[in-house]
């Protein structure tokens, strides 16, 4: 037995340096497919690595830094607050309704039910303990009480079902015709936003390095270079997909969260009531930089949104349809002329938009 113990001890001693080394320095993980940067355990290091790897063309001055129109975020709105335990302030009707339902109906209800059950348990434990109640009752049925404890929960559930189902229906309400359509694509590890109705090709959106975010007065690990810009007071229809693995598009202040699944187009809508910047994050574990692909939605009044669309070289939704000749194909202008027109339309903004991401 002694021999066995000493062998075990010496084995442990031999293993110690290796274990210590593993604890002190970080083990480089094998590079993921596509050549992810070497990963360390320290979140800060990973963040800056990821940000550097993701940063758009290092030599070119970043467009976002010189953008006079870029909206400043407001503390406590559209972003988490330190120590916060409540939902973020909601800026959509569905979000406000859900917030009301959660904090004015469900929370009081579960508090009352929990306290009632706790009170009943305590009462039973003390009043009917063996010392206080040596001869237990032989009662096995009480029809009146049984009807009560069946019907009361049924009525409570029915009362909750009505607002719950109407919220569900509101969330799945199809987008109206004049909705602004944005195709959202989740990539490892950034987002792409395309405005098909406005003729704006995909805009790549990547996290700002922490020091850049600080310089811009934006929250760390939530700020991005190119935001998703949307109009206020108009329904936005998102067509969400993934290009590699499953991501999830989630913005708490907009009450919006939907998976981005490769090979599938998921649809959701929201209508923002207040101009502002609303941050979110990928909410489906999607790989090593899952924590570094934030979302920033900038909601602008319609006129400013139109101006933004123009700066991107896009056009009003429907303008393309108006320009489209309303005549049979034979008498339509030649394809070449149409192609040139579209080309011109898109040429003047190429400098403003971030270059598409190179292979990661």
Which of 91, 282 has the CB closer to Cu ion? 282
We find the least distance from the C-beta atom of residue 172 to Cu ion, in angstroms, to be 24
Near Cu ion in 225-284, by CB under 5 A: 247, 282
Report the 10 Å Cβ neighbour count for 340. Answer: 11
Q: Which one, of 251, 284, 249, 247, lies nearest residue 262 by Cα?
A: 247
From CA 187, how far away is CA 10, in angstroms rounded? Answer: 49
Q: By the 8 A CB rule, do 292 and 219 touch? A: no
Fill in the DSSP letter of residue 231: E
C-beta of 285: minimal distance to Cu ion in Å?
8
Q: How far is the CB of 268 from Cu ion (least distance, A)?
A: 17
Residues between 143 and 182 that touch Cu ion (CB under 5 A): none
Distance of CA 258 to the CA centre of its chain: 8
Distances in Å between the Cα of 167 and the Cα atoms of 99, 101, 163, 249 are: 11, 9, 6, 20
Size of the site for Cu ion (CB under 5 A): 3
Closest to Cu ion by CB, 249 vs 305, is 249
312/290 Cα distance (integer angstroms): 28
- Other CB atoms within a 10 A radius of the CB of residue 135 amount to 5
Check residue 295 for interaction with Cu ion (CB under 5 A): no
- β partners of residue 200: 195
Nearest residue (CB) to Cu ion, 64 versus 189 = 189
Closest approach, Cβ 50 to Cu ion, in A, equals: 12
User: What is the number of helices (H) and of strands (E) in the chain?
Assistant: 9, 10
Closest to Cu ion by CB, 187 or 308: 187
Q: Is 207 in the site for Cu ion (CB under 5 A)?
A: no
Which residues between 110 and 149 bind Cu ion (CB under 5 A)? none
What is the nearest approach in angstroms of Cu ion to the Cβ of residue 282? 3
End-to-end CA distance of the chain: 56
Give the nearer residue to Cu ion in terms of CB position, either 253 or 286.
286
Minimum CB distance to Cu ion smaller for 204 or for 282: 282
* 286 binds Cu ion, rule: CB under 5 A: yes
What separation in angstroms does the CA of 193 have from each of 55, 115, 182, 237, 345?
Answer: 17, 48, 6, 12, 19
Give min distance, CB of 101 to Cu ion, in A: 29
Specify the 3-state DSSP secondary structure of 235. Answer: strand
With respect to Cu ion, which residue has the nearer C-beta, 108 or 262?
Answer: 262
* Closest distance to Cu ion from the beta carbon of 109 (Å): 35
Q: Smallest distance from the beta carbon of 189 to Cu ion, in angstroms?
A: 6
User: Beta-strand (E) ranges in 58-199?
Assistant: 180-187, 190-195
Q: Between 247 and 353, whose beta carbon lies closer to Cu ion?
A: 247
Structure tokens at 286: 């999607």
Whole-Å CA distances, 268 to 60, 250, 280, 300: 35, 11, 15, 20
Q: Which residues bind Cu ion (CB under 5 A)?
A: 247, 282, 286
């Amino acid at each position: 037995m002694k021999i066995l113990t000493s062998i075990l001890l010496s084995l442990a001693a031999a293993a110690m340096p290796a274990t210590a080394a593993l604890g002190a320095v970080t083990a480089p993980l094998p590079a993921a497919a596509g050549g992810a940067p070497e990963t360390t355990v320290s979140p800060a290091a990973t963040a800056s690595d990821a940000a550097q790897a993701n940063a758009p063309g290092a030599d070119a001055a970043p467009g976002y830094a010189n953008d006079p129109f870029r909206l400043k975020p407001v503390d406590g709105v559209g972003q988490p607050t330190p120590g916060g335990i409540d939902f973020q302030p909601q800026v959509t009707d569905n979000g406000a309704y859900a917030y009301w339902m959660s904090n004015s109906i469900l929370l009081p209800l579960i508090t009352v039910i929990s306290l009632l059950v706790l009170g009943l348990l305590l009462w039973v434990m003390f009043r009917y303990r063996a010392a206080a109640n040596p001869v237990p009752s032989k009662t096995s049925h009480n029809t009146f009480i049984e009807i009560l404890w069946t019907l009361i929960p049924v009525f409570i559930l029915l009362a909750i079902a009505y607002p719950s189902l109407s919220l569900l229906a509101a969330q799945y309400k199809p987008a109206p015709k004049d909705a602004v359509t944005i195709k959202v694509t989740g990539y490892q590890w950034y987002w792409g936003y395309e405005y098909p109705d406005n003729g704006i090709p995909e805009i790549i959106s990547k996290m700002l390095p922490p020091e850049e975010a600080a310089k811009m007065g934006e929250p760390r690990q939530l700020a991005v270079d190119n935001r998703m810009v949307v109009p206020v007071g108009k329904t936005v229809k998102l067509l969400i997909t993934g290009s590699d693995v499953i991501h999830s598009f989630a913005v708490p202040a907009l009450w919006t969260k939907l998976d981005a699944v490769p090979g599938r187009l998921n649809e959701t809508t929201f209508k923002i009531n207040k101009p502002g910047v609303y941050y979110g994050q990928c909410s489906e574990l999607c790989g090593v930089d899952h924590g570094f692909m934030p979302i920033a939605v900038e909601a602008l009044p319609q006129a400013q949104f139109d101006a933004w669309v123009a700066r991107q070289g896009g056009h009003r939704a429907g303008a393309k349809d108006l320009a489209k000749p309303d005549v049979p194909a034979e008498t339509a202008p030649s394809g070449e002329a149409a192609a040139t027109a579209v080309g011109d339309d898109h040429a003047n903004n190429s400098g403003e938009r971030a270059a598409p991401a190179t292979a990661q």
